[in-house]
Amino acid sequence: MYELTQLTDRCYYIQSPAKIGLVRLEGDRVCLIDSGNDKDAGRKVRQILDSRIWRLSAIYNTHSNADHIGGNQYLQKQTGCKIYAPGIERDFTRHPLLEPSFLYGGYPCRDLRHKFLLAQPSDALPLTEDVLPEGWEMIPLPGHFFDMVGFRTADGVVYLADCLSSRETLEKYRIGFLYDVGAYLDTLERVKTMEGTVFVPAHAPAAESVAELAQYNIDAVLAVAEAIVAACREPTCFEMLLGGLFRQYGLAMNFEQYALVGSTVRSYLSWLKDTGRLTVRFEDGMLLWERA
């Protein structure tokens, strides 16, 4: 873990629970794409930088999930680097309590206020095309989170953030975290046809082609959608639906999984309602979901 892997003359990634991109700029300057999940990750990144006598000038955050911004604060304090985050992700990066609050749908209890969902705040600036290194392209990748982006570097390396899960992860957990199901499916269709030298998903192996894995992720999303529709043959409330999915997929219920999977299932329900496959009724003080 935290080994540095070189992809091209200037592009690398650091193997970690969520891969950290590293790109050499002019002279001894480098930038990161995301920063890992906590202060310890930041320390390990700094050790890599120090061993190469590299100077960190910027961190470009793809999105604001805690496992991607957790090293921000430490690295910014240690190096004075600038941090950039796109759109609403900047607000979550500056005010990380927004993440567990959003996932839970209210003020998060202590069980949700830990480093895996609640990063330390960092002073992020708006991420726009004009602050990118020369030759870079910012790629919108909505769906997994609000305004997630990826990057194509001048070397043709494409850093894909969280828009792909590995086969192993999907086979184990079945329901990958999503914010906007429709946008995510559109993103995956675009990823299938993207061109690049190497693709670097944060949670799947780097590869020269990711079209097959993108289709596997699409199929996984559609399978979950079908399971939800099937569970709504009879009117059912959210808690009964969620419990049934946990049992069907053999998932272990705890506060973190309740928040992550629960938020995702609500997003599926919104998509299925907006696309006309589900409808709702209000009965005896409860919201019930059923097939349209």
Report CA Rg, the chain.
20
Pairing label, strands 82-85, 124-126: parallel
- pLDDT for the residue 98: 98
**Residues 6 or more apart in contact with residue 253 via CB below 8 angstroms:** 243, 246
Query: Model pTM greater than 0.95?
Result: yes
User: What integer pLDDT is reported at residue 141 of this predicted model?
Assistant: 98
65 burial via Cβ count (<10 Å: 0-12, 13-18, 19+): buried
156 by DSSP, 3-state: which?
coil
Torsion of CA 203, 207, 209, 213, to 10 degrees: -30
Cα separation of 145 and 88, whole Å? Answer: 10
Interacting residues of 239 by C-beta distance below 8 A, sequence separation 6+ = none
Q: What is the pLDDT of residues 49-69, one digit of tens each?
A: 999 999 999 999 999 999 999
pLDDT score for 243 = 98
- Stretches where the chain sits below pLDDT 50 are none
pLDDT at 188: 98
Structural domains of the chain in order of their starting residue, each with its CATH number = 4-222 (3.60.15.10), 230-291 (1.10.10)
Q: What pLDDT sits at residue 234? A: 97
pLDDT tens column, 156-182: 999 999 999 999 999 999 999 999 999
| CB contact at 8 A, 108 and 100 | yes
- The residue length of the chain stands at 292
Between the alpha carbon of residue 169 and those of residues 165, 172, 260, the distances in Å are 6, 5, 15
**What is the model's pLDDT at position 139?**
98
